[in-house]
Structure 1
């Protein structure tokens, strides 16, 4: 198994699939997660091939684009077989992908391998901070969601069907997911990076509410 060749083929495959995707899950998201994953992998004792392949493929069968089916990994599995990845590695990659997403915090997303922890951290880091804010609004725009409605409060999800509820707005997503991610990082390096990105989101929300509620009488 020529791992370097497989990685290059995989980059081309994923870029072809996701380039130009408009919801924030595009090729550039994958590239950032890949770069973060390789950085975190340097700090940990992990299988770099599993980390890199998982980072590249983690959104190919994303449940948000598979008609809401959070268990489908058919495209990913077929691709891995087509480039002759060994079955043991395929099983590791698929297992990580199936338990990586936050999904409102209502499903099992605990990683039992260091490789899974690394890629999950990288994916979650790209969901917060300045990039995370931009991706949140991009995704909500693709779903025709309101930017903000102060009468609709953050939801307390109980089931995955609750998570898929369209009757929500973008700002609630910060409270339902993004502001929770800092405390869910697995590795010490990711925890350190998350602190700064978390604080940036808090500052953004402070400014957002200030501008939303602007009243010249208060000046």
Structure 2
């Protein structure tokens, strides 16, 4: 069966069985991760069916960011995916179960697992790229809003004189996680794309800083330089 047919079947199953209010982990997210994964895996000796399947089911279980067992989401998703494949896709090749499970387990930032296969590396990179660029920017504030987190600390927005706390301030998440993602990328293409999209986030931070200082037209070059330097550290 061709990949396009598997993708169609997976999307049909998700439309019928996977409902969520979490816009960061809906079918559109799965589809975007797969599109990005195809760019990363181009001309590489990989199993595309493993990557496709992991992209579409990696967040089939996704506990909220404030859930005490959040770090277990990817392990639960991997187990659930095997059950789904065995039950609802009996023609899925069973010899690929283990590779799909590992790619799903290893994709999560909070799980802290190092991917052991190229397929898992590609899925992890593709998923992490969703946290950068324009989509990543939108997701930060959408998720923070759903959790009742403030946009930023008006007295010290960039945490110059306080501890970072992204559970209290959405803007802190850029420094606690997002701007560190490029160095965690597993593939050369993933790192290239991550640096490009992280630079977009830095432009946003520089624009925000300028506006907070009353400059609606410029960019804060000091903030821009500060965070660009952090990308190379």
TM range (shorter): 0.7 to 0.9
Gap regions ≥5 residues in structure 2: 217-233
Distance 1:167 1:189, change over 3 A: closer
The C-alpha deviation readout for 1:164-203, integer Å capped at 9, x for no partner, is xx84221111111110111111111121112211111111
Query: Match for residue 128 of structure 1?
Result: 132
Q: Is 2:95 aligned against 1:77?
A: no
Distance 1:65 1:146, change over 3 A: closer
CA contact (8 A) 1:99 1:111 kept: yes
- What is the deviation of 1:16? 4.3
SS at match of 1:43: coil
Q: Quick one: higher RCO (CA 8 Å, sep 6+), 1 or 2?
A: 1
SS at match of 2:112: coil
Name the CA distance, whole Å, in 1 between partners of 2:120 and 2:176. Answer: 23
Query: Match for residue 175 of structure 1?
Result: 175
Between 1:172-181 and 1:190-199, the stretch displaced more is: 190-199
What's the TM-score, normalizing by structure 1? 0.81
Map 1:139-158 onto structure 2 (within 5 A). Answer: 139-149=143-153, 150=156, 153-155=163-165
Name the CA distance, whole Å, in 2 between partners of 1:214 and 1:66. Answer: 34
* Match of residue 88, structure 1, among 73, 91, 95: 95
Distance 1:77 1:65, change over 3 A: farther
Query: Match for residue 9 of structure 1?
Result: 9
Distance 1:16 1:43, change over 3 A: farther
CA contact (8 A) 1:133 1:201 kept: yes
Name the CA distance, whole Å, in 1 between partners of 2:169 and 2:134. Answer: 19
Distance 1:90 1:66, change over 3 A: farther
Map 1:1-219 onto structure 2 (within 5 A). Answer: 2=1, 4=3, 5-17=5-17, 21-64=21-64, 68=69, 70=72, 71-73=75-77, 74-82=79-87, 83-84=89-90, 85-103=92-110, 107-149=111-153, 150=156, 153-155=163-165, 167-214=167-214
Name the CA distance, whole Å, in 1 between partners of 2:23 and 2:103. Answer: 22
CA contact (8 A) 1:20 1:27 kept: no
Name the CA distance, whole Å, in 2 between partners of 1:18 and 1:52. Answer: 17
SS at match of 1:59: coil
Name the CA distance, whole Å, in 2 between partners of 1:202 and 1:41. Answer: 27
What's the TM-score, normalizing by structure 2? 0.77
Name the CA distance, whole Å, in 1 between partners of 2:138 and 2:99. Answer: 31
CA contact (8 A) 2:150 2:170 kept: yes
- What is the deviation of 1:15? 3.9
Name the CA distance, whole Å, in 1 between partners of 2:152 and 2:17. Answer: 31
Gap regions ≥5 residues in structure 1: 156-165
